[in-house]
Amino acid sequence: ELDYDQGKRALLERLAEESYPAATVQGEVRLEHEQRLAQVTYRVVLGESYRVGQLKVEGEGGLPEGPILAAAGLERGQPFRQSMLADVQHEVYALGAFSSVEVDRELNASAHEVDLRVQVKPLGPHTFRLGVGITSGALQCTQSSTVESVPQWDTHLLARYERRHVFG
């Protein structure tokens, strides 16, 4: 059953990546207990191909919407791909102005379009970030045709404070 359900999910994800986010997958499993076999049949209904519709931005507060839309890099009417959601999230988050970015899709069946909603949460005026890391490895040195292996360890601590809107 797990393989059957994973197969259905994989088909739906692949179809959404190929511009068919409204496709449906139904299936049937026939078990032959004595031979320990299962025969799986999937029925796929593609429906219409979908295109990108409206891109809505929510939660930006006083920040301008233009750079967010530009970072998303989508044009209305281009073929929809499911991976666009992750791409838009990555690009908007890379602007560096948000603590979180979530992208949701909404199917508009009458227009065969997928409207995208980008929900952002701006960073506060004070941001403090802390990171710790450890690296290990070996350094090889050559001197007069001999090779030495010197163990190398690196530990580091990174702290960053940022004050936004200092001058209003």
Check: pTM over 0.85? Answer yes or no. Answer: no
Q: Are 68 and 59 in contact (CB under 8 A)?
A: no
Cα–Cα dist 83/90, whole Å = 11
Backbone angles phi, psi at 86, to 5 degrees: -70, -40
Mean pLDDT of the chain: 88
Report the amino acid identity of residue 18.
Answer: E
User: What's the pLDDT tens digit per position in 92-145?
Assistant: 999 988 889 999 999 999 999 999 999 999 888 888 889 999 888 765 665 655
Compute how many other C-beta atoms are within 10 angstroms of the C-beta atom of residue 116: 21
Cα–Cα dist 116/74, whole Å = 10
- The DSSP letter of residue 124 is P
Strand partners for 135: 154
User: What's the pLDDT tens digit per position in 50-72?
Assistant: 999 999 999 887 788 999 999 99
